[in-house]
Each structure stands twice: as structure tokens, then as C-alpha cells.
Amino acid sequence: MQQIDINGWVATNVLHTFIGTRANNPSARRDWALTTIWVVTMDALAAGLVLMVLSSYVMWYQLKQKRRWGLVALTAGVIGCGFFVAGLA
């Protein structure tokens, strides 16, 4: 019998990479409908978030009087994201 220890990071990784097939048989199709629904939903969510971010940049750029503060907020967000990504490594 094989025992697998799963912590929070492993569970999060599985949820982000889960495609519904066995790891030792990547040519197999998804083995149940719920995994297909999960994958399609997560792909739609990711596409929606990208669209939301890009459209918010367009709207921010059109507000000339708020460009300076928007640039400050954008810079702070990029720096904060950089610290987060560096912390993961």
C-alpha cells in the first residue's frame, strides 16, 4: 500500500493543474464530466480576469486627470506582485 502525504500547498497545486487524467497515462481522456466542467470554468475565469485587467488599463488611460495616481497605484501593484513572486521562490 502506498501512502501520500498532502498538505495545503500540494492541494493548491493539484487544483491548479488538475486535468482529470492519470499521471502515468497522459494520452487518456478526462475520466469524468465534472473535471471537464472544472477545467472549462477555470479557463473562462482566467480569460475573464485578463479581459478585466486589460479593459481597466484602457479606462484608466482615458482619464487624463487621474493618470499620475493611476501610475503610482500600478507601480505599487507591480512591486507588490514582484515581492509575492520572489517569496514563492
Record the pTM: 0.55
Identify whether 47 is part of a domain. Answer: yes
Identify whether 89 is part of a domain. Answer: no
User: How much is the pLDDT for 22?
Assistant: 63
Domain range for residue 58? 8-63
Evaluated on CA atoms 37, 39, 42, 43, the torsion sign reads negative
| CA–CA distance, 52 with 39 (Å, rounded to integer) | 20
| CA–CA distance, 60 with 66 (Å, rounded to integer) | 7
Query: pLDDT tens digits, residue range 1-54?
Result: 677 777 777 777 777 676 666 666 666 666 677 777 887 898 899 999 999 989
Instruction: Look at the chain and report how many structural domains it folds into.
Output: 1
Q: What backbone phi and psi angles, to 5 degrees, belong to 2?
A: -105, 135
Q: Which three cell numbers stand for residue 77?
A: 501593484
Identify whether 71 is part of a domain. Answer: no
Identify whether 20 is part of a domain. Answer: yes
Identify whether 29 is part of a domain. Answer: yes
